Amino acid sequence: MSEERRKTYYITTPIYYPSGNMHIGHTYTTVAADTMTRFKKLTGYDAYMLTGTDEHGQKIERKAEENGVTPQQYVDKIVENTKELWKLMNVEYSDFIRTTDERHVKAVQKIFKQFYDQGDIYKSEYEGQYCTPCESFWTPTQLKEGKYCPDCGRPTETVREESYFFRMSKYQDWLIEYIQTHPDFIQPVSRANEMINNFLKPGLQDLCVSRTTTKWGIPVSFDPKHTVYVWIDALSNYITALGYTSDDTSLYERYWPANVHLVGKEIIRFHTIYWPIMLHALGLPLPKQIFGHGWLLFGNDKMSKSKGNIQYAQPIVQRYGADSLRYYLMREMPFGSDGNYTNEAFLTRMNADLCNDLGNLVSRTTAMIEKYFGGAVPAPDAYEDVDKALIDLAEALPNAVEKQMDALQFSQALTEIWKLVGECNKYIDVTQPWVLGKDESKKARLGTVMYVLAECVRFVAVLIGPFMPSTPERIYAQLGVTDGALKTWESLSAFGGLKAGTMVKKGEALYPRIDVAKESALLADEAEKWAAAFAAQSGNIKTPAETKAPEAPAKAEKNADKAKELPEGCIGIDDFAKCKMVVAKVCACERVKKSEKLLKFDLDIGTEHRTVLSGIAKFYAPEDLLGKSLILLKNLAPRKIMGNESQGMLLSAFVENPDGTETLRVLTVDEAMPAGAEVG
């Protein structure tokens, strides 16, 4: 193998399903891939990162229908928002693949035809249970309580249609042997054991790979009434983006097989069972590793729109910058395990690690060089044991970081870097430069201490670059480092690269200390606004540039001060008084045409009748609600939904069922209460 080929590195994120805007969980995976790509480039690799969107399927088809737009229009706006988010997070992907791209469509049709021609795909009829949100078929033994999806817990639908099937069962024994003889193929190891014991050994079912009831997809070239079902379509992106089957396969030849596919644990089955079998059937090499990381939870709970606990990156970055959030995501949890995000944990770690540790180290070092040496980095004198211990730690750090990064242990890599940061701060306390500075005879010793600190800070700046791409330049500016050679991995091969006489200039604090309680209240307020803005995109999807947080920072600061006076999680009576809720009697109720989600209500609220649309059709038949007395938030701004103006919002709640699924219930009141009676 040539040196050039050996030094390539190909990493992928899953291609995200654009049924809604990307939240902080998607950000977690993408930042991890970007961090790894940047690290490999830093260490001399020709690194290539792929991300993108999986845009076909029944769920998108229905979402677009509910919003009164075409599927292509619907996904185009979400993709635009997604690209803006990755730009905001300072993510530098090499390619963004969309399954609606013509290059992908043509390649998938060729792949499907090859499978058919060689007998891996056959036509039959399918009857069984289908989960639209998960785009998955399930056998009776896999369902919970006979009808609920084992992945998401939602009710499945009975589907009967002609389909093409892939002979997965044909390759079952081969895949078991492959996984067992390639221990690094699936990581963490627990995921490999789960795939073998829970899915492969019990017996693989042949996989449905086409639909006739869904038109939003790639047509089967030789049987146009069929569209290619999600898994052949979506999983193939990792090679179609590289030009596989195209006239120019240079990228495929250069980068395939992938070094690692990063995926969430909820989709690892498809990547470690279906995808390897497809590649093997095509006669192609398998990716070197598939890493199934855990979920990023919000307040120790899985993010869910129904629970109202979706956290978006935009309000965080807007206030604290992308590097702060990138650092938290990569530092807070071991990659592979579930992690947790709360505003308090994020802000506390900002104060502890970025302000107290890193920020203070840079500030103290540059300030003391300015004070004692007029801003010129002094030349070191003889090193003492305390100096040598710190120098040894710095020189060993690149290898320690590389070892952790190669294992995709981002948190541990940062822990190693912060060991040096911590030891530098201890070194200041032990050597006491402020004492040395009072004694002219100790000038040489003081110079050595300051040189060691400055050089250690440079080491840290180089190593944090992949995680926090904007911060190193801010450090270099204070250190006076302008030589690009001193910003490279190679410059860390030996201690002492920083030249004596380099002029430092203490600047603004890298990360000023913040009031966690005040900022937490403010951030929660801003996060609610972004979530509401994204939710309001229904039927009128806007780009992030058009979706501005509606309140000016000065006013937000005042609200933060008010919030500080209230118990955590509380609002004031003035805020509550803005909500005008009344009893509404259901006079008429009907389904909205071309929508499986919406019911249209004619509501009597005493002084007038209101038309309200509510997305509860999956939980209620229209006749079940006639005559009921519901609660209407009547002063919510009207909005158009599928050509109808909805004049308010019905209050409802999700109720957890014994099997862990959720059912939506509208709030009702005693029917003796008159229409229009105020609630509150």
Domain layout of the chain by residue ranges: 342-492, 579-679
d(CA 96, CA 237): 10
Q: Which CATH class is domain 342-492?
A: mainly alpha
Burial class (CB in 10 A: 0-12, 13-18, 19+), 294: middle
| Burial environment of residue 300 by CB neighbours within 10 A (0 to 12, 13 to 18, 19 or more) | exposed
Instruction: State the alpha helices, DSSP H only, in 187-249.
Output: 189-195, 230-235, 237-240
Residue 56, SS3?
A: coil
Cα 98–chain centre separation? 17
Instruction: Return all residues near 256 (Cβ < 8 A) that are at least 6 apart.
Output: 10, 239, 242, 244, 284, 285
For residue 652, CA distances in Å to 142, 214, 463, 665 come to: 31, 31, 50, 6
Q: What is the pLDDT of residue 549?
A: 38
Do residues 168 and 274 make contact, with C-beta atoms less than 8 angstroms apart?
A: yes
Integer Cα distance of 291 and 510 in angstroms? 34
The answer to whether 57 touches 217, Cβ cutoff 8 Å, is yes
Question: For 498, phi and psi rounded to 5 degrees?
Answer: -65, 130
146: left (phi over 0), alpha (psi -120 to 50) or beta: left
Q: How far is CA 550 from CA 79, 532, 660, in A?
A: 23, 11, 37
* Residue 301: predicted pLDDT: 66
C-alpha–C-alpha distance, residues 153 and 306, integer Å: 13
Instruction: For residues 460 and 492, give the distance between their C-alpha atoms in angstroms, rounded to a whole number.
Output: 10
Compute the distance between CA of residue 278 and CA of residue 553 in angstroms, rounded to an integer.
52
- Burial (CB < 10 A; 0-12, 13-18, 19+), residue 329, is buried
pTM of the model: 0.77
Find all residues with CB under 8 Å of 355, minimum gap 6, and list them: 509, 510, 511, 512, 513, 514
Instruction: Please state which CATH number belongs to domain 579-679.
Output: 2.40.50.140
Identify the pLDDT of residue 304: 60
Q: Which 3 state secondary structure label does DSSP give 208?
A: strand
> 637-670 b/e with 16+ CB inside 10 Å = b?
eeeebbeeebbbbbebeeeeeeeebbeeebeeee
Residue 137, strand partner residues: 130
Q: Please report the pLDDT score of residue 508 as a whole number.
A: 94
Give the whole-angstrom CA distance, residue 650 versus residue 600.
Answer: 11
| CA distance readout (Å), 608 to 185, 347, 447, 604 | 65, 48, 82, 6
- Count of residues for the chain? 680
- Would you state the structure tokens that stand for residue 6, as one six-digit string? 């050996």
29, amino acid identity? T
**Average pLDDT by stretches of 10, the chain with 680 residues:** 66 93 91 98 98 93 90 95 96 98 98 98 86 75 82 83 94 97 94 92 92 93 94 97 97 98 92 98 98 79 63 93 96 82 92 96 97 98 97 98 97 97 97 96 98 98 98 98 97 97 96 92 87 65 39 38 49 65 88 87 82 88 88 85 85 67 79 74
At 654, the amino acid letter reads F
Exposure string (b/e) for 103-142, b if CB count within 10 Å is 16 or more? ebbebbbbbbeebbeeebbeeeebebbbbbbbbbbbeeeb
Cβ atoms 226, 113 nearer than 8 A: no
pLDDT value of position 532 = 80
Which residues make beta-bridge pairs with 609?
Answer: 604
Closest listed residue to residue 43, CA positions, set 493, 357, 476: 493
DSSP of 615-672? S-TTT--GGGGTT-EEEEETTSPPEEETTEEE-SEE-EEEEE-TTS-EEEEE-B--TT
How many H helices and E strands in the chain? 24, 25
Alpha carbon distances (Å) from 200 to 90, 180, 286, 303: 40, 12, 18, 30
What local confidence, expressed as pLDDT, does residue 572 receive?
A: 60
Tokens of 669: 């009141």
Could you tell me which residues come within 8 angstroms of residue 620 by beta carbon, excluding any fewer than 6 positions away?
A: 599, 666
Q: Is the dihedral of CA 315, 320, 322, 326 positive or negative?
A: negative
Q: How far apart are CA 63 and CA 305, in angstroms?
A: 15
* Exposure letters 190-211 (e unless 16+ CB within 10 A, then b): ebbebbbeebbeeebbbbbbbb
What Å distances lie between residue 519 and 43, 344, 350, 531, 566, CA to CA? 37, 9, 12, 18, 14
- How does strand 581-591 pair with strand 629-633? antiparallel
In 28-73, where do the E strands start and end?
46-53
136-138 sheet: strands from edge to edge: 136-138, 121-131, 157-166, 207-208
